[in-house]
Chains A and B, each alone.
Chain A
Amino acid sequence: MSEAVSALAGAGFDGIARVEEAGQVGMVTLRGDLDSAAMVKAVKTATDAAVPGQRAITRAGGYAVAWMSPDELLITCDHDKADAVVNSLAKSLAGAQFLAVNVSDARAVFDVSGAQARDVLAKLMPVDFSRAAFGPDIIRRSRLAQVPAAVWMSADDTFRVVCFRSVARYLFDVLCMAAQDGSEVGVLG
């Protein structure tokens, strides 16, 4: 059995914000009828969190459930819990049309933190990162420079960015460039 490793082995960078690869994060893609009672119950059973509304993110314990599209959720958890989440969902949703897949190792996850994190991300994404528009309860899928990415707040002044693993190096490098010393924007911070 090979040893699972994250894309960039926890690479970090300190500039006007801190950029850090978050290491191994458990991630499960869940597709199906998000409005159905079976789905609400299945998500509750697997994570203890509620099914989020449009572009929202709900949390319970070490689990977060993010709204990805009208028929798709992304569940994040500890890396070694992802298979258990999939099994729980499969058991709860047996007989319904759904798809639950452990995609942990198909993704790379970064944290951008610090007082200027909003400005750093705003350089790269066509998204309103002002405090009024971007709070802790939303997830936004967009592009980060030239690749698709999803972003949400994992703590005060900390943004978690998820991309495909194949573009992990590109995303890290472009985040570091946007966070380089002397590149303060001073608009959103």
Chain B
Amino acid sequence: MLILDCPYCGVTAEETEFHGGGEAHLKRFGPGSSDEDFEGYLFHRENPRGVHFERWRHVNGCGKWFHVARDTATLEVFGSYSAQVTEPPQEIRDAITAKRPGWRWREFA
């Protein structure tokens, strides 16, 4: 079971208080985009064994969406951060690097 921190209400709670929202930092491709970009936006997802970035919602709490960086193999959580960003903040990247030197995820490292 995951233990997550909600950055909005400051609660540390177990997974059942939250709801997973899939991969983080997707760029939306809508009307006018190429078929390839649209297909990628709709269907192509990371499925890493290790460092991963996800969206979560504090559904049984404050109701806010936020981001989580975690390890899919060990369930270790590196940190949670605001939903109002398009890429992981530096302190989250540093926290991951401290535990998983040399990590890469999509274009981020």
Which A residues have a C-beta under 8 Å from some C-beta of B?
54-55, 67-70, 72, 126-127, 140-143, 148
Contacts and interface: CB of A to CB of B under 8 A. Distances in A.
22 contacts: A54-B9, A55-B9, A55-B10, A55-B11, A68-B62, A69-B8, A69-B63, A69-B64, A70-B8, A70-B9, A70-B62, A126-B13, A126-B16, A127-B13, A140-B11, A141-B62, A142-B11, A142-B17, A142-B60, A142-B61, A143-B17, A143-B60
B46 interface: no
A172 to B, nearest CB: 19
Contacts of B14: 126
B9 A142 contact: no
Contacts, number: 37
A141 B59 CA distance: 10
Contacts of A148: 59-60
Secondary structure at chain A's binding surface: helix, strand, loop or mixed? strand
B25 to A, nearest CB: 22
Interface in B6-46: 8-11, 13-14, 16-17
A42 to B, nearest CB: 21
Which 8 pairs between the two chains have the least Cβ-Cβ distance?
A69-B62, A143-B60, A141-B61, A148-B60, A126-B14, A70-B8, A54-B10, A142-B17
Nearest to A69: B62
A172 B5 CA distance: 29
Contacts of B17: 126, 142-143
Contacts of A126: 13-14, 16-17
Nearest to B13: A126
B13 to A, nearest CB: 6
A142 B13 contact: yes
A147 to B, nearest CB: 8
A127 B61 CA distance: 11
A5 to B, nearest CB: 28
A148 B64 CA distance: 14
Contacts of A127: 13
Nearest to B7: A70
A143 B64 contact: no
B62 to A, nearest CB: 4
Nearest to B64: A69
A70 B64 contact: yes
A27 B44 CA distance: 45
B62 A143 contact: no
A54 to B, nearest CB: 5
A142 B61 CA distance: 5
A143 B9 contact: no
Contacts of A141: 9, 60-62
Interface string B45-83: 000000000000001111110000000000000000000
